[in-house]
Amino acid sequence: MATATAVYKNFINGKWVDGQAGELQVLNPANQDEVLSRFSMVSTEQTHEALQAAQDAFQGWRRTSPPQRARIVRKALQLAEEREDQIARDMSLEAGKVLSDARGEVIKGCNLLEFYSGEGLRLIGDAAPSELGNNLLFTKREPLGAVSIITPWNFPWAIPCWKIAPALVAGNSVVFKPASFTPLSAYHLAKCFEDAGLPPGVLNLVVGSGRKVGNELIHADKVCGISFTGSNEVGKQIEQAAMETGKKLCCELGGKNPCVVMADADLDSALAGVLKGAFGASGQRCTATSRLIVEESIADEFAARVAEGANALKVGPGINDDVDMGPVIDQSQLDTVLGFIESGNKDGFKLLAGGERVTENGMDKGFFVRPTVFDHVDQNSYLAQEEVFGPVLSIIRAKNYEEAIEMSNNTKYGLSSSIYTRDINQAMKFSDDIEAGMVHINSPTLGGEAQVPFGGIKASGIGDREMAKEGLHFFTELKTVFLDYTGGARKSNIY
């Protein structure tokens, strides 16, 4: 077994400290014989030390002017850009994602750092006229305090960037717990902020399990806000805890995103979008295309092309140049994905591609699954209703637009969606009719951009949208100021 020698530490109150709760070995999802990194994990006591450090640093940080706070984010951005290659390589290895996707993710995170560093100059409220003369009403945005940021392994760089940057620019202090599969990406981000000159205690990185460390970060009195991306199951538990303890909460959860392909669509572009949407990041993104809803008249032809495209994807370690799709993250995710495949087979849906684990060429040492496509899937089946978070696409056939929209909305989720059509009227109608937080027209269900809100409705999210101004607003409270400059001459009653 290859062994990584250095043991990475936790970042608490501006110092890199050894954790006191044992060691985490991060194994390569493409080859479990390889230890990628070793991290020492924090104890409950150390988690509280990190929270205390955040609380202590908060008063100084909130008094640092927003443009000055944003300047530190901009410096961190410059450092991240310089370190792009290393960050992308480490991320590709630990998350299993294809290297070009990892590079894209570094850039996406940088776009978020860039956007929010600009927002430091725009952290402004509104002014309003008063009923009274010589009075001014205005609002200010103030930080919440110490906040907990808990992030998943599938976007181990971009998601922390899109939560931490607005939290810091708004004047909050942060305790950041990354997923245990991907602590090295988190280490790089914390290091960029340290090297950018962020004052001690303003950002703390703690590595440990969700059950122990995560739990403290959700329940502790010192925490004023929680931002979480991950599963619905954990999201529900956090919601419960936040309700009981009165903390502000933002959760970005699962999806079962439909891609509708109408008969009039540019089918080449639709095909590329469906393959990228379903199998990019091995289907492990909350915005993945999980249901292809295709108009019946072209369904046979299009399904055959999707299957052919899926079969042509090269599966292997994401770090290798010629690979299209990497492994899933671990044994449990692999078992879940294989369970969905089994359910599709049991329900008698037509397996057009994949349907099995990949074990050749040493891939049995990792968690590889072939890109899988089922056709004639029943829209109410387990496969069509539950989030897979893996490379499994369900094709559902619709008679026409009306049926396609009904099928699209037949889900508890409402994150992303997409339609391929050349009919602008139909595309716009889809953007009205679809129950989702995001609609893509002639592009895959994936992705987002820093300057527009990201998030979903129904079971896909709790609280405000992320990214854009909305992402910044989550990390603030509004204060309304009533300013009387009559110099004591005010006669009118207050009502």
Selected from 220, 286, 303, 395, the binder of ligand UN1 by CB under 6 A is 286
From the candidates 94, 114, 252, 295, give the one annotated as an active-site residue: 252
At 379, give phi and psi (nearest 5°).
-60, -20
Minimum CB distance to ligand UN1, residue 279 (Å):
13
Counting residues that bind ligand UN1 (by CB under 6 A) gives 12
252 is catalytic: yes
Residue with tokens 């996406």: 108
Selected from 19, 66, 96, 152, the binder of ligand UN1 by CB under 6 A is 152
If binding is defined by CB under 6 A, does position 229 make contact with ligand UN1? Answer: yes
Q: Of 143 and 437, which has the nearer Cβ to ligand UN1?
A: 437
Which range, of 138-146, 148-156, 200-208, 487-495, touches ligand UN1 by CB under 6 A?
Answer: 148-156
Selected from 175, 261, 353, 446, the binder of ligand UN1 by CB under 6 A is 446
Minimum CB distance to ligand UN1, residue 83 (Å):
21
If binding is defined by CB under 6 A, does position 151 make contact with ligand UN1? Answer: no
Minimum CB distance to ligand UN1, residue 249 (Å):
16
Closest CA to 239 of 251, 252, 253, 257: 251
Virtual torsion, Cα 270, 374, 95, 415, nearest 10 deg: 60
Question: Which residue type, as a one-letter code, is found at position 47?
Answer: T
Q: Of 155 and 374, which has the nearer Cβ to ligand UN1?
A: 155
Kindly write down the DSSP assignment for every residue of 297-323, as one continuous string.
HHHHHHHHHHHHHHHHSPBS-TTSTT-
Per-residue contact string for residues 16-55; x = within reach of ligand UN1 by CB under 6 A: ----------------------------------------
Which range, of 39-47, 154-162, 168-176, 180-188, touches ligand UN1 by CB under 6 A?
Answer: 154-162
Minimum CB distance to ligand UN1, residue 278 (Å):
12
Minimum CB distance to ligand UN1, residue 79 (Å):
23
Selected from 216, 252, 295, 375, the binder of ligand UN1 by CB under 6 A is 252
Q: Of 66 and 456, which has the nearer Cβ to ligand UN1?
A: 456
Q: Of 379 and 445, which has the nearer Cβ to ligand UN1?
A: 445
If binding is defined by CB under 6 A, does position 285 make contact with ligand UN1? Answer: yes
Q: Roughly how many angstroms between the first and final C-alpha of the chain, as a whole number?
A: 75
If binding is defined by CB under 6 A, does position 290 make contact with ligand UN1? Answer: no
250 is catalytic: no
Distance of alpha carbon 70 from alpha carbon 116, whole angstroms = 7
DSSP one-letter code for 199 = P
Minimum CB distance to ligand UN1, residue 454 (Å):
7
DSSP one-letter code for 20 = S
Residue with tokens 């080859």: 31
Closest CA to 12 of 144, 166, 176, 159: 176
Q: How are strands ordered across the β-sheet holding 127-129?
A: 127-129, 135-143, 476-484
From the candidates 114, 216, 286, 387, give the one annotated as an active-site residue: 286
List, in order, residues 6 or more apart from 143 with CB less than 8 Å away: 58, 61, 62, 170, 171, 172, 475, 476, 477
Distance of alpha carbon 127 from alpha carbon 472, whole angstroms = 19
Distance of alpha carbon 310 from alpha carbon 122, whole angstroms = 46
Angle at 109 between CA 463 and CA 103, to 5 degrees: 135
Selected from 8, 11, 155, 475, the binder of ligand UN1 by CB under 6 A is 155
Minimum CB distance to ligand UN1, residue 410 (Å):
22
Distance of alpha carbon 72 from alpha carbon 12, whole angstroms = 18
Selected from 10, 52, 111, 154, the binder of ligand UN1 by CB under 6 A is 154
List, in order, residues 6 or more apart from 131 with CB less than 8 Å away: 492
Minimum CB distance to ligand UN1, residue 322 (Å):
23
Q: Which residues bind ligand UN1 (CB under 6 A)?
A: 152, 154-155, 159, 229, 252, 285-287, 446-448
Residues with catalytic roles: 252, 286
